[in-house]
Amino acid sequence: MLVDDAAKRAYDQVRLRAVFTDWGTRMNSPYMAIRLSDGDSDGVMYESKLTAVRHQLHERQCAYFSFRHAPDGFASPRDAAVFLAFHRAAYDNGFRLPDPDDTHGGPDLVMPDMNEHLYNQLERLIGGRRG
């Protein structure tokens, strides 16, 4: 995975909030909007995804990071690169996740972990042999 400037910037934006914001704030205002184009953020921590979505000029050009799922932010710039690439791919394939009219700001995109990916691959292989 290529770690580009956007990934480094996203990592820095999230890491700064993780280091300089207390735990309670990160859990009560856990959402950040990260622009997919350059990894930048408005720097605001929002109390809900809906609030984060509504405060973006172009909400569908952002990915929404939650500290509830990763209290210390991205583990590395590579993780930020994967996060951005995954969300870019979703948008490129027709997913429209943020929704300012939805009570929760739209559905969340859940990235599969390595075990889920492995199990899906194994099931495809085993299922292919049976059929």
Q: What is the pLDDT of residues 61-99, one digit of tens each?
A: 999 999 988 999 999 999 999 899 888 988 888 877 666
Judge whether 28 and 47 are in contact, CB under 8 Å: yes
Total of domains in the chain? 1
Mention every residue, 6+ apart, whose C-beta is less than 8 A from residue 79: 11
The pLDDT assigned to 109 comes to 67
What range does the domain containing 95 cover?
A: 5-130
pLDDT tens digits for range 115-127: 555 556 556 655 6
Pick the most confident of 13-22, 112-121, 122-131.
13-22
What is this structure's pTM? 0.77
Distance between CA atoms of residues 30 and 68, nearest Å: 6
* Total residue length of the chain: 131
